[in-house]
Amino acid sequence: MNRQLKSLPTPGILPLLRNVPDLSFVIPAYNEAGNITKTVHRVAAEARKLVRSYEIIIVDDGSTDSTFKEAKALTAAHPVCALRLSRNFGKEQAIMAGLERSTGAAVVILDADLQEPLCHLETLLRHRAEGFEMVYAVRAQRRDETWRKRAFTRTFYALLNSGSETAIPANARDFRLMDRKVVDALCALPERNRFMKGLYGWVGFRTKAISIDLDKREAGVSKFGFRGLFKLGLTGLTSFTAWPLRVWTGIGMTIAACSILYGLWIAIRTAIFGIDVPGWSTLVVAVMLLGGVQLISIGVLGEYLARVFAEVKGRPGFIIAEDHSADPEQP
């Protein structure tokens, strides 16, 4: 359907023909029963001020609380589409499910806890009117986080950017406005193991960053503990950099060069001073060190291989279990 309409020669009337909303909001929600209703009311109130038509897509990412029940109830009063994923697939996949379902001329991704103040919506739209195809929010500061999380984030982005062909801005949020072109480009990518913050940069387009301060989460708790962040970080590193694979050539060459020099030194020393007492401790240390280095390198290879394996299997990134949309006639 989309493809047929795209080929029509009169793009000006397309939005009218397809009943395309000006703006789609994509809200991934995992156990957000305490937030979702308030969030949608606030988003709707803000959207009514800024655009003629909008839709709100709530993606329930396998919540175990009443998030989906609340999302379904919201379809009675707002142009909401409530999707329920069959299990918890993670935020990246929930965002993709929402992007694929969205139809708006532009899409805004929002967290369900509304930590990103909605007053910035107007700025996002203003920059879009200036010709930017993607406008994203960057955290002005991270003082509210622990030093461990801050250090982890800083190291992660330094490692990521040292090997990535496109710059991946540190501290960027998923909160962003994207033109339909950008959304279509993201949806067309075939990879399933997605690191969205990298992909936003990879697809390119004219982009603009705005700096924001985050509000506190009103209800519930953050879903990203250290383990979740570490997993996401590994996905980012393996999908955007190949240096962890290549670095072993350098390490191997350095160890080989050191061994040759050490071998030469032993030969010369033996020629001059004769045979020394056998150095079994040096031998054990060398064997253990090399064994460790080799196991680490195999582990890194395995990490990449596991991801190739996951891609080759071709399983979908998410499964939609329920799709509950508001009546299209509704305002």
Q: Which positions lie near ligand UDP, rule CB under 6 A? A: 28-30, 32, 61, 88, 90-91, 94, 111-113, 115, 222-224
> What are the tokens at 227?
């383990």
Does position 32 interact with Mg ion (CB under 5 A)? The reply is no
Nearest-approach distance from CB 111 to Mg ion, in angstroms: 5
CB-wise, 21 or 90, nearer to ligand UDP?
Answer: 90
Strand order in the sheet with 23-29: 207-212, 134-139, 172-179, 106-109, 23-29, 54-60, 80-85, 320-325
Residue with tokens 């060190």: 289
CB-wise, 146 or 330, nearer to Mg ion?
Answer: 146
Nearest-approach distance from CB 54 to ligand UDP, in angstroms: 18
Give which of Mg ion, ligand UDP, none residue 164 binds (C-beta under 5 to 8 Å, depending on kind). Answer: none
Nearest-approach distance from CB 8 to ligand UDP, in angstroms: 36
Nearest-approach distance from CB 45 to ligand UDP, in angstroms: 19
Nearest-approach distance from CB 35 to ligand UDP, in angstroms: 8
Q: Which residues, 6+ apart, have CB-to-CB distance to 87 below 8 Å?
A: 62, 319
- Based on C-alpha coordinates, what's the Rg of the chain? 26
Shortest-Cβ-distance residue relative to ligand UDP: 222
CB-wise, 39 or 238, nearer to Mg ion?
Answer: 39
CB-wise, 36 or 134, nearer to ligand UDP?
Answer: 36
Does position 39 interact with Mg ion (CB under 5 A)? The reply is no
Give which of Mg ion, ligand UDP, none residue 55 binds (C-beta under 5 to 8 Å, depending on kind). Answer: none
CB-wise, 114 or 125, nearer to ligand UDP?
Answer: 114
Does position 115 interact with Mg ion (CB under 5 A)? The reply is yes
Give which of ligand UDP, Mg ion, none residue 226 binds (C-beta under 5 to 8 Å, depending on kind). Answer: none
Nearest-approach distance from CB 21 to Mg ion, in angstroms: 25
* Residue 272 and residue 196 in contact, taking contact as beta carbons nearer than 8 Å: no
Give which of Mg ion, ligand UDP, none residue 30 binds (C-beta under 5 to 8 Å, depending on kind). Answer: ligand UDP
* Residue 78 and residue 47 in contact, taking contact as beta carbons nearer than 8 Å: no
Distance in angstroms (rounded) separating the CA atoms of residues 278 and 266: 12
CB-wise, 54 or 318, nearer to ligand UDP?
Answer: 318
Does position 113 interact with Mg ion (CB under 5 A)? The reply is yes
CB-wise, 79 or 233, nearer to Mg ion?
Answer: 233
CB-wise, 36 or 105, nearer to Mg ion?
Answer: 36
Nearest-approach distance from CB 247 to ligand UDP, in angstroms: 30
Distance in angstroms (rounded) separating the CA atoms of residues 226 and 85: 24
Give which of Mg ion, ligand UDP, none residue 173 binds (C-beta under 5 to 8 Å, depending on kind). Answer: none
* Residue 82 and residue 324 in contact, taking contact as beta carbons nearer than 8 Å: yes
Q: Which residues, 6+ apart, have CB-to-CB distance to 76 below 8 Å?
A: 326
Distance in angstroms (rounded) separating the CA atoms of residues 62 and 321: 9
User: Pairing state of beta strands 106-109 and 23-29?
Assistant: parallel
Give which of ligand UDP, Mg ion, none residue 28 binds (C-beta under 5 to 8 Å, depending on kind). Answer: ligand UDP
Give which of ligand UDP, Mg ion, none residue 29 binds (C-beta under 5 to 8 Å, depending on kind). Answer: ligand UDP
User: Where does this chain bind Mg ion (CB under 5 A)?
Assistant: 111, 113, 115
